[in-house]
């Protein structure tokens, strides 16, 4: 059963977001617009209705089985200071309905101390907006884990986050920063006017704190995604191009870059449908199915914890309400790593987004 909406302390966040909301934005959340696609069941129904011959499970076969648990990914909620067009979370400033409560934060901390996973990956929404973000980072650092902060860059400039970059740097937290493109028009088209300029300012703050300069304790990873219904180019060539573009034009550096495919869910699914690209994009993903990508899929070595404590094979399944297939229940309070190891990974048609081309995971291309 889902917990009731929590009385989270968001007053301090609200003032910051009011400032950010004043800037022109790309869109609003599906939930705020009362779109049918705010419902995961409706998204799955739409994907199922696409004429496709291929069956994901039949193609992936026995190669799609659990591996060692390496990454403990925690989604702190859907609150975000932005509302990007391609968002697979349907995040936005209005999403205070979906935020991790204190009891669940406590259970997550207990599980982090117990897990054999070497990495704790904090995501959202914008995880830095959660009132317990620093508590979770500190608990994971104290447990000896490598911590990744999935950051949208602009959130670092909000007044409430003054000093956060230095605080993360002191704890060797890796910043995994999403930036759709190193060119202003491409980024602003997905994220809203002015976002590129603020992202560059945030990159400068990170560089000044030692991030993006080759120091493994201050790793700055950028994450890019295509700006339309096509697959990303080769990660190595995109990284070279971005390194030159960002350094020459803006004097900022980074350590590595991930290229992700856009997943056909949530707001990107809405755009695919509205633009008449849904059938062709799904067929493109199927045509580009790469069996070599299966062994590197993140659902094999990652546990995804939802804002309400429910458990999933990955963040995408989380957004589609496709819970872990565990007989004892799929909630962090009952988490059993041995049972997790024996589970069947839950799949559906969106999974073709992970195996197309060079593959796509939270760690970028996989094949």
Which two tokens mark 316? Answer: 């995408």
By CB under 6 A, the residues from 141 to 160 that bind ligand SF4 are: 152
C-alpha torsion sign, points 170, 161, 102, 147: negative
Q: Report whether 61 contacts 50 (CB < 8 A).
A: no
Q: How large is the angle between the packed helices 40-49 and 266-274, nearest 10 degrees? A: 40
Point out which span in 110-118, 202-210, 238-246, 309-317 binds ligand SF4 (CB under 6 A).
309-317
Q: How far is the CB of 164 from ligand SF4 (least distance, A)?
A: 16
Point out which span in 232-240, 268-276, 295-303, 334-342 binds ligand SF4 (CB under 6 A).
295-303
At residue 117, what are phi and psi to the nearest 5 degrees?
A: -60, 140
298 contributes a contact to ligand SF4 by CB under 6 A: yes
Rg of the chain over all Cα atoms, to the nearest angstrom: 19
According to DSSP, residue 156 is labeled G
According to DSSP, residue 2 is labeled P
The residue (of 205 and 217) whose beta carbon lies closer to ligand SF4 is 205
Q: How far is the CB of 316 from ligand SF4 (least distance, A)?
A: 4
The residue (of 194 and 210) whose beta carbon lies closer to ligand SF4 is 194
Q: How many residues bind ligand SF4 (CB under 6 A)?
A: 25
Q: How far is the CB of 338 from ligand SF4 (least distance, A)?
A: 20
By CB under 6 A, the residues from 335 to 364 that bind ligand SF4 are: 345, 347, 350-351, 354
13 contributes a contact to ligand SF4 by CB under 6 A: no
Write the DSSP assignment of 239-291 as a string of letters. HHHHHHHHHHHH----SEEEE-PPPSSHHHHHHHHHTT-HHHHHHHHHHTB-G
89 contributes a contact to ligand SF4 by CB under 6 A: yes
Q: Is 289 exposed, middle or buried (0-12, 13-18, 19+ CB in 10 A)?
A: middle
Which two tokens mark 360? Answer: 């796509």
By CB under 6 A, the residues from 96 to 135 that bind ligand SF4 are: 124-126
Which of 71, 87, 165, 305 touches ligand SF4 by CB under 6 A?
87
The residue (of 80 and 175) whose beta carbon lies closer to ligand SF4 is 80
Q: How far is the CB of 89 from ligand SF4 (least distance, A)?
A: 5
Write the DSSP assignment of 307-360 as a string of letters. TTSBEESSHHHHHTT-B-B-TT-SBGGG--HHHHHTPBPP--GGGHHHHBTT--
Q: How far is the CB of 145 from ligand SF4 (least distance, A)?
A: 21
Q: How far apart are CA 34 and CA 254, in angstroms?
A: 39
Write the DSSP assignment of 94-138 as a string of letters. T-TTSB--HHHHHHHHHHHHH---SEEEEESS-GGGSTTHHHHHH
The residue (of 104 and 154) whose beta carbon lies closer to ligand SF4 is 154
Q: How far is the CB of 279 from ligand SF4 (least distance, A)?
A: 20
Q: How far is the CB of 93 from ligand SF4 (least distance, A)?
A: 9
At residue 289, what are phi and psi to the nearest 5 degrees?
A: -55, 130
The residue (of 10 and 143) whose beta carbon lies closer to ligand SF4 is 10
By CB under 6 A, the residues from 221 to 280 that bind ligand SF4 are: none
Q: Which residues bind ligand SF4 (CB under 6 A)?
A: 80, 82-84, 87, 89, 91-92, 124-126, 152, 178, 297-299, 313-314, 316-317, 345, 347, 350-351, 354
């Amino acid at each position: 059963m889902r917990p009731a909406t929590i009385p989270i302390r968001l007053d301090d966040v609200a003032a910051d977001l009011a400032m950010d909301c004043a800037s022109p934005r790309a869109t609003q959340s599906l939930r705020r617009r009362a779109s049918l696609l705010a419902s995961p069941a409706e998204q799955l129904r739409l994907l199922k209705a696409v004429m496709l011959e291929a069956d994901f499970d039949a193609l992936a076969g026995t190669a799609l089985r659990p591996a060692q648990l390496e990454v403990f990914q925690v989604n702190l909620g859907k609150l975000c200071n932005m509302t990007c067009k391609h968002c697979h979370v349907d995040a936005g400033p209005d999403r205070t309905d979906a935020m991790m409560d204190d009891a669940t934060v406590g259970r997550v901390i207990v599980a982090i101390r117990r897990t054999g996973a070497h990495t704790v990956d904090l995501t959202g929404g914008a995880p830095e907006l959660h009132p317990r973000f620093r508590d979770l980072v500190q608990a994971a650092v104290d447990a000896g884990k490598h911590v990744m902060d999935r950051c949208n860059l602009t959130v670092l400039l909000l007044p409430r986050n003054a000093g956060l970059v230095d605080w993360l740097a002191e704890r060797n937290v890796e910043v995994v920063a999403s930036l759709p493109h190193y060119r202003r028009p491409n980024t602003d088209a997905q994220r809203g006017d002015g976002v590129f300029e603020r992202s560059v300012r945030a990159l400068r703050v990170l560089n000044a704190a030692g991030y993006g300069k080759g120091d493994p304790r201050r790793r700055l990873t950028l994450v890019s995604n295509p700006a339309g219904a096509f697959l990303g180019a080769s990660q190595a060539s995109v990284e070279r191009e971005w390194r030159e573009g960002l350094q020459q034009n803006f004097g900022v550096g980074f350590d590595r870059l991930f290229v992700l495919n856009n997943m056909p869910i949530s707001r990107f699914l809405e755009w695919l449908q509205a633009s008449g690209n849904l059938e062709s994009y799904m067929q493109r993903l199927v045509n580009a199915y790469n069996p070599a990508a299966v062994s590197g899929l993140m659902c094999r070595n990652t546990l995804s914890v939802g804002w309400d404590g429910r458990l999933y094979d990955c963040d995408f399944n989380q957004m589609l309400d496709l819970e872990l297939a565990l007989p004892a229940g799929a909630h962090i309070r009952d988490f059993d790593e041995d049972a997790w190891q024996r589970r069947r990974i839950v799949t559906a048609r969106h999974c073709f987004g992970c195996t197309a081309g060079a593959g796509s995971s939270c760690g970028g291309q996989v094949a």
